[in-house]
Structure 1
Amino acid sequence: MFNLFKKKRNEVASPMTGQVILITEVEDAVFSSKAMGDGFAVKPSERNVYSPIKGKVTSIFPTKYAIGLVDEKGLDVLVHIGIDTVELAGNGFEITVQEGANVDFDTQVATVDLAYLKSKNKPTTTMVIWTNGAKATLAIKPGQYTAKTIIGEVK
């Protein structure tokens, strides 16, 4: 009965298997300075990308390197696959969802050819950014994770 009065937590999952790092450790100043918003990143070891939140797909960039989501509290989330990957014009990426789709931690949203990105000298680090995050506090625990594993929460 008392559980009805607890504040709902918005859990965050690692979208990929790999090393979860703080956004301030990303090797690109646009992300590490939090110019786009607060978040975290994954240095992936596997190619499948899953939704880091429960919510809805709001946009898919034409060049397939980024997916916009909105979580259950209305916070905008950007999953940005790789660094400077817009230059690849969609090559190396396959999107597996459509705009408007409901997503949760088990929803695969994309596949990325990590070897292709590396062959083009593009870092594979994948960022998860709360683009209107001034409304939220993000608490994550860096470390090695399997995709879909809860790593923290948004308050």
Structure 2
Amino acid sequence: MGLFSKKTKELEIIAPVDGEIIALDQVEDEVFSQKMLGDGIAIKPTAGNFVAPIAGKLVTVFPTGHAYGIKSIHGIEMLLHIGMDTVSLNGKGFNIKVKQDDNIKQGDLLCEVDLAVLKAEKVPSLDTPIVFTPETMSGKTITIVKTGKVKQGEVIAIIK
């Protein structure tokens, strides 16, 4: 390894959308609030364009557009889940911009969501959890570095 090359062991997580950061235990769904799928952070979106919080490979793109699984080069897997019970909309209000198995960069557009459609369909909540699978987090910790209002692209958490 050269003198100036540095392999980072940190993984920065960016806000996928404008909104307000909330603790995962405040999400209005016990699967997420009780961390059954893993630990993480959540955001109440105020805009409709969602970008990749991390770089990696899209291991899951739900056909309904409501959820995206990304595996980072660090081996960490995360799930971005847009809203609660949004799977029941069968894609209504979601415009997917990626395909499963795509390699994506942090900040790449995943989907456009019409939040007005989601609200009109009376989904229980627009809370958007970003969770990290426990199997891929062994020995690593999540540090939340941003709270309150956030702009898309701002660093909101770091995994070490």
Q: Secondary structure at the match of 2:118?
A: helix
Partner of 1:128: 130
Q: Secondary structure at the match of 1:56?
A: strand
Alpha-carbon distance in 2 for matches of 1:89, 1:127: 19
Q: Which residue, 148, 151, 155 being the options, matches 1:146?
A: 151
TM-score (norm 1): 0.92
Return 5+ residue gaps in structure 1 as ranges: none
Correspondence list, 1:93-108, <5 A: 93-108=94-109
Corresponding pairs, count: 155
Report 1:1-155 matches (<5 A). Answer: 4=5, 7-122=8-123, 123-132=125-134, 133-135=136-138, 136-140=140-144, 141-155=146-160
Contact 2:67 2:79 in 1 (8 A): yes
**Deviation string for 1:33-61 (max 9, x for gaps)?**
00111111110000000000121111111
Paired AA for residue 31 in structure 2? V
Deviation string 1:89-137 (CA, Å, 9 cap, x unpaired) is 1111111111222222320101111011111111111111112354231
Give the 3 Å change call, closer, same or farther, for CA 60–71 of structure 1 in structure 2: same
Which 5+ residue runs of structure 2 have no aligned equivalent?
none
How far apart are 1:5 and its partner, in Å?
6.0
Contact in 1 for aligned 2:41/2:129 (Cα 8 Å): yes
* Alpha-carbon distance in 1 for matches of 2:88, 2:77: 24
Counterpart amino acid of residue 158 in structure 2: E
* Alpha-carbon spacing, 1:60–1:6, altered in 2? closer, same or farther (3 Å): closer
Aligned-pair distance for 1:69?
A: 0.6
Select between 133-142 and 25-34 the one with higher mean Cα deviation. Answer: 133-142
Per-residue CA deviation, residues 6-28 of structure 1 (Å, 9 max, x unaligned), is: 75211000111000111111111
Query: CA separation in 1, counterparts of 2:8 and 2:50?
Result: 29
The Cα RMSD (Å) is 1.7
